[in-house]
Amino acid sequence: MIHTGEKKDKIDAIIRACGVMLRMNKVRPDARESENIYYQMLSNYFTRLQDAKDEGRFVAAHTVFFPTEILYAMDIVPMHTETTTWMISLFTGECADLLSAGTDLGLASEICTPHRGLAGAFASGALPRPNVMLWSNLICDNTAKSGELLMEINRCPGFFIDHPFQHSEDEMKYLVGELNSMIGFLEEQSGHKMNWDRLAEIVARMDRQIELFREICELRKAVPSPFHTQGFLELLTIDYLFPGQPEATDYLETLRQELADMVKNGEGAVSDERFRLMSFFIPPMHLIGFLERISQEYGAVSVTEPFFTYWGEGRLDPNRPLESVAEKSYMIPETRMYGPLDDRALKSIVDCAEQYRVDGAIYYADVGCRHTCATIKLFKDILNEIDVPVLTLDCDVVDPTITSEEEVREKLERFFELLEDR
Amino acid sequence: MFDRFIEVNSTFPKTAHVLEHKRQGGLVFGWLCTYVPEEIMHAAGALPVRITGHNQETELEDGSAYLYVNNCSFSRSCLQMGLRGGYDFLDGVVGSSTCDGARRLFDLWRNYIETPFHHVLTIPRKSTPEAHALYYQQVVQFKERLEEFLGIQITDEKLHQSIDVYNESRTLLKNLYELRKLDNPPISGAETMEVLNASFRMPKELFNEYLKDLLRDLPSSGHTHNGLARLMVTGSVLTNPEFIKSIENQGALVVADDLCTSTRYWSDPVELNEDTTPLQAISRRYLDNFPCARMFPSDKRFNRILSLVQDFKVDGVISQIIRYCVAYAHDLPLLTERLRANGIPMLALDVEYGTSGSGQIQTRVQAFLEMLGARKR
Amino acid sequence: MKALGIDIGSLTTKVVILDSNDALSFNVTPSGDEPESSARAALEESLGQSELNLDHDFYLVSTGIGGKLLPFTQQQKAITTCLARGVHYLFPSARLAIDIGAESCNVLKVNERGRIKDWVNHDKCAAGTGVFLQKMAKIMRMPLEEMSKLSFRASSGPAITGTFAVFAESEVISHVHRVPPTPKEEIVAGIYSSVVSRIMTLCKRIGIEKDVAVVGGVALNNGLVSILEKAMGFEILVPEAPQIAAALGAAVIARESIEKGADR
Here the CATH number for the domain that contains residue A290 is: 3.40.50.11900
Q: Is residue A129 situated within a structural domain?
A: yes
Residue of chain A minimizing CA distance to B132 = A174
Pick from B134-143, C185-194, C209-218: least confident: C185-194
Instruction: Return mean pLDDT, chain B.
Output: 96
Q: Is the pLDDT of residue C156 over 90?
A: no
One-letter amino acid for residue C135 of the chain? K
Residue of chain B minimizing CA distance to A153 = B334
Task: List C-alpha distances in Å: B239 to A144, B256, B261.
Answer: 26, 15, 7
Give the model's pLDDT for residue C133. 82
Cross-chain Cβ contact C81/A414 below 8 Å: yes
**Cα B105 to Cα B125: distance, rounded to the nearest angstrom:** 19
Interface test with A, best of C118, C125, C202 (most A CBs within 10 A): C118
- Cβ of A165 under 8 Å from any chain B Cβ? yes
List Cβ neighbours of B194 (8 Å cut-off, separation of 6 or more).
B2, B5, B6, B9, B241
- Cβ of A390 under 8 Å from any chain B Cβ? no
Q: Which of A194, A225, A240 is the last residue of a domain?
A: A194
- Nearest-CA distance C41 → chain B (Å): 41
Tell me the β-bridge partners of A360: A277
Give the model's pLDDT for residue C127. 62
Task: List C-alpha distances in Å: A83 to A115, A152, A239, C41.
Answer: 11, 21, 12, 53
Instruction: Return mean pLDDT, chain C.
Output: 86
Give the model's pLDDT for residue A351. 93
H or E element that contains B108? helix B100-112
Q: Which of A172, A194, A216 is the last residue of a domain?
A: A194
Is residue B236 within 8 Å of B242, Cβ to Cβ?
no
Tell me the β-bridge partners of B46: B27
Specify whether A204 is located in the same domain as A340: yes
Question: What pLDDT digit, counting tens, does each position of B257-270 carry?
Answer: 999 999 999 999 99
Here the CATH number for the domain that contains residue C152 is: 3.30.420.40
- Cβ of B166 under 8 Å from any chain A Cβ? no
Is residue C140 within 8 Å of C184, Cβ to Cβ?
yes
Q: How far apart are the first and last CA of chain C?
A: 12
Residue of chain B minimizing CA distance to A149 = B334
- Cβ of B236 under 8 Å from any chain A Cβ? no
Angle, helices B100-112/A376-385, rounded to nearest 10 degrees:
30
Would you place residue B186 in the very low, low, confident or very high pLDDT band (cuts 50, 70, 90)? Answer: very high
Give the model's pLDDT for residue A2. 45
Give the model's pLDDT for residue A245. 98
Span C159-169, average pLDDT: 63
Specify whether A348 is located in the same domain as A201: yes
Task: List C-alpha distances in Å: C52 to A144, C32, C48.
Answer: 64, 17, 9
Binding partners of C (≥3 Cβ pairs within 8 A) = A, B
Give the model's pLDDT for residue A213. 97
Q: Is the pLDDT of residue A132 over 70?
A: yes
C25/B236: higher pLDDT: B236
Residues in C closer than 8 angstroms to A413, CB to CB, are: 78
Q: What Rg value do the Cα atoms of chain B yield, rounded? A: 20
Is residue B219 within 8 Å of B329, Cβ to Cβ?
no
Residues in B closer than 8 angstroms to C171, CB to CB, are: 359
Q: Is the pLDDT of residue C116 over 80?
A: yes
Q: Write the DSSP string, B224-258.
A: ----SSEEEEEES----HHHHHHHHTTT-EEEEE-
Specify whether C138 is located in the same domain as C38: no
Span C158-186, average pLDDT: 73
List Cβ neighbours of B112 (8 Å cut-off, separation of 6 or more).
B66, B83
Give the model's pLDDT for residue C125. 55
Would you place residue A391 in the very low, low, confident or very high pLDDT band (cuts 50, 70, 90)? Answer: very high
- Nearest-CA distance A351 → chain B (Å): 19
Is residue A112 within 8 Å of A142, Cβ to Cβ?
yes
Residues of the domain holding C207: 93-238
C31 phi/psi in degrees, rounded to 5: -80, 135
**Domain count for chain A:** 2
**Cα B268 to Cα B290: distance, rounded to the nearest angstrom:** 7
Task: List C-alpha distances in Å: B333 to A150, B78, B153, B231, B348.
Answer: 11, 28, 48, 20, 10
Closest CA to B180 of B210, B207, B139, B215: B215
Binding partners of A (≥3 Cβ pairs within 8 A) = B, C
**Cα A213 to Cα B225: distance, rounded to the nearest angstrom:** 67
- Nearest-CA distance A336 → chain C (Å): 23
Q: Which of A161, A194, A227 is the last residue of a domain?
A: A194
Number of residues in chain B: 377
List Cβ neighbours of B164 (8 Å cut-off, separation of 6 or more).
none
Specify whether C64 is located in the same domain as C131: no
Residues in C closer than 8 angstroms to B65, CB to CB, are: 200-205
Upper half-sphere CA count for residue A296 (Cβ side, 13 Å): 5
Cross-chain Cβ contact C193/B59 below 8 Å: yes
Residues in C closer than 8 angstroms to B64, CB to CB, are: 163, 201
Question: What pLDDT digit, counting tens, does each position of A200-227 carry?
Answer: 999 999 999 999 999 999 999 999 999 9
Cross-chain Cβ contact A373/B68 below 8 Å: yes
Q: What is the longest distance spanned by two Cα atoms in chain C? A: 67
Give the model's pLDDT for residue A6. 57
H or E element that contains A135? strand A132-136
Q: Write the DSSP string, B134-188.
A: HHHHHHHHHHHHHHHHHT----HHHHHHHHHHHHHHHHHHHHHHHHHTSSS-SS-
Specify whether A251 is located in the same domain as A287: yes
Give the model's pLDDT for residue C167. 62
How is the beta sheet containing B346-351 ordered, strand by strand?
Answer: B253-257, B230-235, B316-322, B346-351
Would you place residue C23 in the very low, low, confident or very high pLDDT band (cuts 50, 70, 90)? Answer: confident
SS3 C8: strand
Specify whether A155 is located in the same domain as A265: no
Cα C168 to the center of its chain, rounded Å: 22
Specify whether A258 is located in the same domain as A368: yes
Count of CB atoms within 10 A of residue A19's CB? Answer: 13
Specify whether C197 is located in the same domain as C248: no
Q: Is the pLDDT of residue A405 over 50?
A: yes
Residue of chain C minimizing CA distance to B59 = C161
Give the model's pLDDT for residue A344. 83
Q: Is the pLDDT of residue C262 over 70?
A: no
**Cα C127 to Cα C103: distance, rounded to the nearest angstrom:** 10
Task: List C-alpha distances in Å: B216 to B172, B173, B202.
Answer: 11, 13, 20
Task: List C-alpha distances in Å: A149 to A80, A155, B316.
Answer: 17, 9, 23
CB burial of residue C29 (10 Å; 0-12, 13-18, 19+): middle
Specify whether C114 is located in the same domain as C193: yes
Cross-chain Cβ contact C119/A377 below 8 Å: no
Would you place residue A242 in the very low, low, confident or very high pLDDT band (cuts 50, 70, 90)? Answer: very high
Specify whether A250 is located in the same domain as A375: yes
Mark A201-214 as b/e (b = at least 16 C-beta within 10 Å): bbbbbbbbbbebbe
**Domain count for chain C:** 2
Q: Is the pLDDT of residue A70 over 50?
A: yes
Task: List C-alpha distances in Å: A167 to A65, A175, B153, B287.
Answer: 16, 10, 26, 20
Count of CB atoms within 10 A of residue B373's CB? Answer: 14
Residues in B closer than 8 angstroms to C197, CB to CB, are: 59-61
Residues of the domain holding A120: 11-194
- Cβ of B303 under 8 Å from any chain A Cβ? no
Specify whether A81 is located in the same domain as A156: yes
Residue of chain A minimizing CA distance to C126 = A394
CA angle B354-B299-A186, nearest 5°?
Answer: 125
Tell me the β-bridge partners of C237: C213
Is residue A248 within 8 Å of A238, Cβ to Cβ?
yes
Question: What pLDDT digit, counting tens, does each position of A83-124 carry?
Answer: 999 999 999 999 999 999 999 999 998 899 999 999 999 999
Number of residues in chain A: 422
A4/B360: higher pLDDT: B360
One-letter amino acid for residue C172 of the chain? V
Instruction: Return mean pLDDT, chain A.
Output: 95
For the range A399-406, what are the long-range contacts, defined as Cβ-Cβ under 8 Å and sequence gap of 24 or more? A399/A95, A399/A99, A399/A113, A400/A95, A400/A284, A400/A285, A400/A286, A401/A96, A402/A284, A402/A367, A403/A284, A403/A287, A405/A287, A405/A290
Specify whether C21 is located in the same domain as C71: yes
Would you place residue B277 in the very low, low, confident or very high pLDDT band (cuts 50, 70, 90)? Answer: very high
- Nearest-CA distance C103 → chain B (Å): 19
Here the CATH number for the domain that contains residue A178 is: 3.40.50.11890
The strand ranges marked E within C138-190 are: none
Is residue B37 within 8 Å of B138, Cβ to Cβ?
no
Q: Write the DSSP string, B308-352.
A: HHHHTT-SEEEEEEETT-HHHHHHHHHHHHHHHHTT--EEEEEE-
Would you place residue C161 in the very low, low, confident or very high pLDDT band (cuts 50, 70, 90)? Answer: low
Would you place residue C199 in the very low, low, confident or very high pLDDT band (cuts 50, 70, 90)? Answer: very high
Q: Is the pLDDT of residue C164 over 60?
A: no
Interface test with A, best of C80, C112, C257 (most A CBs within 10 A): C80
One-letter amino acid for residue C228 of the chain? L
Domain B15-151: state its class.
Answer: alpha beta
CB burial of residue A361 (10 Å; 0-12, 13-18, 19+): buried
Would you place residue C155 in the very low, low, confident or very high pLDDT band (cuts 50, 70, 90)? Answer: low
H or E element that contains A343? helix A343-355
Out of A174, A340, A369, name the one closest to residue B107 (CB): A340
C161/B82: higher pLDDT: B82
Specify whether C129 is located in the same domain as C221: yes
How is the beta sheet containing C104-110 ordered, strand by strand?
Answer: C116-123, C104-110, C96-100, C212-215
Give the model's pLDDT for residue B95. 97
Give the model's pLDDT for residue A1. 44
**Cα B264 to Cα B243: distance, rounded to the nearest angstrom:** 18
**To the nearest whole percent, how much of chain C has pLDDT over 90?**
45
Q: Is the pLDDT of residue C264 over 60?
A: no
Would you place residue B359 in the very low, low, confident or very high pLDDT band (cuts 50, 70, 90)? Answer: confident
Question: What pLDDT digit, counting tens, does each position of A322-366 carry?
Answer: 999 999 999 999 988 888 998 888 998 999 999 999 999 999 999
Cross-chain Cβ contact B104/A371 below 8 Å: yes
**Cα B53 to Cα B58: distance, rounded to the nearest angstrom:** 10
The pTM for the full model equals 0.94
Q: Is the pLDDT of residue A317 over 90?
A: yes
Specify whether A203 is located in the same domain as A184: no
Is residue A397 within 8 Å of A284, Cβ to Cβ?
yes
Check residue C180 and give left, alpha or beta (phi > 0: left; psi -120 to 50: alpha).
beta
ipTM above 0.90, yes or no: yes
